[in-house]
Amino acid sequence: MIYAKISRGFRSGGQNLRASSAITFVPFQPETVNEIEVGTKNQFFHRRLRLNVAAYRSKLKDAQRTTFQFNAANSQLFTILGNAAGVRVWGLEADATAILFEGFQLSANGSLTKPKYTKYSEAPTPQNPTGDRRAERFDGVPEKTFSLTANYERDVDVGRLRLNVNYSWQSKTPLFSWNNPLDPNNAALIAATTTPAGGIWNARAGLQFDDGRYEVAVFGRNLGNNRDIVTALVIDPFGYSSGIRREPRTYGVELKFDF
């Protein structure tokens, strides 16, 4: 199957009801997005191989963002939510599933995502005298991702054996949108709020009894003990940053009973 799709969505507008002055008590308009997607879905070799590929392009108008504002009368720095940005995103996604032999299934998927601010502005402040924030990053959006999963199931004398191994990888990922070249701490803050490129392994082996009513399994998560930072917080203009690392290598046993 080959398809093409055009869609439009929105997020409602609102008002800064917690405003501290008349300057900040302003409404903001809806955020809208228009997307075009084309793709193909395929099955081959008597449905033993499935391959799907899609490409898309999204355009956001009046994107809602929290921006800094500066009141020169009392040198007060505050924030408001408003229609500060325009965004363009294009991407490519693909996934494949293959049954290589009876009971064994191999799946893979990958994506490429390229977001860009076409507009992102706020009122000039001492920290950002130009008011231009187009250089900021898209937090939580890796440019490249890839995953691979292998499943194997077969009946044995005492029940049904189920094995799973999976690996997921992503390119370096911003955890916070901050990127202000005028800030002397910019490079350090970016380094502290970016997950390096890398991946994690997980595995599980289970044995089912009584037509799947009971199951005992052992599992391992993050087998490579990847402890990279996965969440971060920046408080500027104080130059403060903090982060939380991924959970360490974990092993466990599961006992399941289906009522």
At 155-191, the pLDDT tens digits run 998 899 999 999 999 999 999 887 887 778 788 888 8
Question: pLDDT tens for residues 245-259?
Answer: 999 999 999 999 988
Nearest to 53 by CA among 127, 108, 104: 108
Nearest to 57 by CA among 93, 21, 26: 93
Token pair 């982060």 is found at: 243
Is 158 in contact with 209 (CB distance < 8 Å)?
yes
d(CA 134, CA 26): 23
pLDDT grade, residue 243 (50/70/90)? Answer: confident
Q: Does the predicted TM-score (pTM) go above 0.85?
A: no
Question: pLDDT tens for residues 104-128?
Answer: 999 999 999 999 999 988 777 767 7
